[in-house]
């Protein structure tokens, strides 16, 4: 990444979220001219302003991705755009489906149109594995947004903007992640709730998600979907590892923590897919990601890429990592926030 953002102007839409903040911290190390943080979360912006008060090249813009004119004004003179704003909680999207449509679909179209109108160099949209064979409103809205991003490359061909999407799974420790929920339940209730012990998910750390999103921006030539490689983790293994670590820190017997299965929530899936077999048939593989090219914009050359294996990349078919590996991920990335020898909850 060294030098890629130097003296450049970057806009992070949804910049007060977990991914947005991590992108900001990483990009600032590369000497950008300015990074604009665009979000509707006034309180989060205030907190970020306090944390970043010594940084003179950050601008904080209040606005909603649903408001095209506000998005367009925020994008004036911008080189690179990261679109990470979304409604992403499955139950909220199920109960408020048109709100998800307005943010995830219409909001994405606003970002596309503003990028074209303002002559942005590259715009990257962050998607989800739930967009594959979707069974819920959230996944379906993200699938539609992916299609809009891919289509923007050929219907917007008169412009100079390069569009791409990045597809990844659950980011461990992010806002809404199950890990801080488990911690809170252990400390407050001495029991945790899980949907199903056999459920599996593709998971990655915040650092991985950030680095690979930036790598996708750098590799993008137009209309691609980058699919980030992630380990499969069984929900029961993750829950047991969190119980073990939190119990050790607060000095209780881990066997005293009950585990209640509550069943799938509306729209929730037992397993997730990263890439369908049909997508894999023409996908390319890099060391840390797959690339699904845009079939409407012609052949392009990607260095160090090989054809991907033609199969369905599912958390049901791929082997889950061991509990030892899960514990190592939790420890190496400081994902357990509970204070040692204390029952005081430390906010994440």
Q: Which two tokens stand for residue 116?
A: 């074209």
Quickly tell me which residue has 């903007």 as its tokens.
161
The residue among 288, 314, 173, 187 whose CA lies nearest residue 238 is: 173
Q: With contact defined as beta carbons under 8 Å apart, do 140 and 106 qualify?
A: no
Q: With contact defined as beta carbons under 8 Å apart, do 297 and 262 qualify?
A: no
- The DSSP symbol for 129 reads G
State the catalytic residues.
130
- Angle formed at CA 195 by CA 330 and CA 141, multiple of 5 degrees: 90
Distance CA 47, CA 20 (A): 14
Q: With contact defined as beta carbons under 8 Å apart, do 148 and 110 qualify?
A: no
DSSP letters spanning 37-49: EEES-HHHHHHHH
Instruction: Please give the C-alpha separations between residue 154 and each of 68, 151, 160, 319, in angstroms, as whole numbers.
Output: 21, 6, 11, 38
Distance CA 104, CA 168 (A): 16
Q: Which two tokens stand for residue 229?
A: 């490689």
The residue among 222, 17, 6 whose CA lies nearest residue 112 is: 222
Q: Which two tokens stand for residue 98?
A: 């048109």
- The DSSP symbol for 254 reads G
Q: Which two tokens stand for residue 246?
A: 């939190």
- The DSSP symbol for 194 reads E
């Amino acid at each position: 990444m060294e030098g890629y953002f130097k003296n450049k102007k970057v806009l992070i839409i949804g910049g007060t979220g977990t991914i947005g903040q991590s992108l900001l911290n990483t990009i600032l190390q590369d000497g950008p001219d300015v990074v604009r943080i665009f979000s509707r979360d006034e309180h989060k912006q205030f907190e970020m302003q306090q944390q970043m008060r010594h940084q003179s090249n950050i601008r904080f813009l209040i606005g909603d991705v649903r408001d095209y004119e506000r998005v367009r004004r925020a994008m004036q003179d911008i080189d690179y755009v990261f679109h990470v704003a979304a409604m992403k909680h499955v139950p909220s999207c199920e109960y408020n489906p048109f709100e998800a449509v307005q943010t995830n679909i219409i909001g994405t179209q606003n970002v596309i149109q503003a990028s074209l109108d303002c002559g942005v160099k590259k715009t990257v949209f962050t998607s989800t594995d739930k967009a594959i064979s979707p069974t819920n409103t959230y996944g379906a809205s993200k699938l539609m947004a992916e299609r809009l991003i891919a289509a923007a490359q050929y219907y917007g061909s008169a412009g100079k903007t390069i569009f791409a999407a990045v597809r990844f799974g659950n980011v461990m420790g992010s806002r809404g992640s199950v890990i801080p929920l488990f911690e809170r339940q252990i400390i407050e209730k001495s029991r945790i709730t899980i949907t199903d012990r056999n459920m599996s998910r593709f998971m990655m750390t915040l650092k991985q998600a950030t680095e690979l999103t930036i790598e996708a921006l750098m590799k993008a030539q137009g209309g691609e979907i980058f699919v980030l490689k992630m380990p499969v983790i069984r929900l029961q293994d993750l829950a047991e590892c969190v119980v073990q670590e939190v119990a050790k820190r607060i000095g209780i017997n881990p066997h005293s923590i009950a585990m209640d299965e509550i069943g799938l929530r509306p729209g929730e899936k037992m397993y997730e897919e990263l890439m369908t077999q049909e997508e894999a048939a023409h996908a390319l593989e890099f060391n840390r990601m797959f690339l699904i090219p845009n079939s409407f914009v012609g052949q392009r050359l990607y260095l160090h890429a090989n054809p991907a294996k033609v199969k369905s990349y599912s958390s049901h078919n791929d082997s889950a990592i061991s509990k030892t590996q899960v514990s190592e991920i939790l420890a190496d990335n400081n994902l357990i926030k509970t204070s040692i020898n204390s029952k005081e909850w430390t906010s994440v």
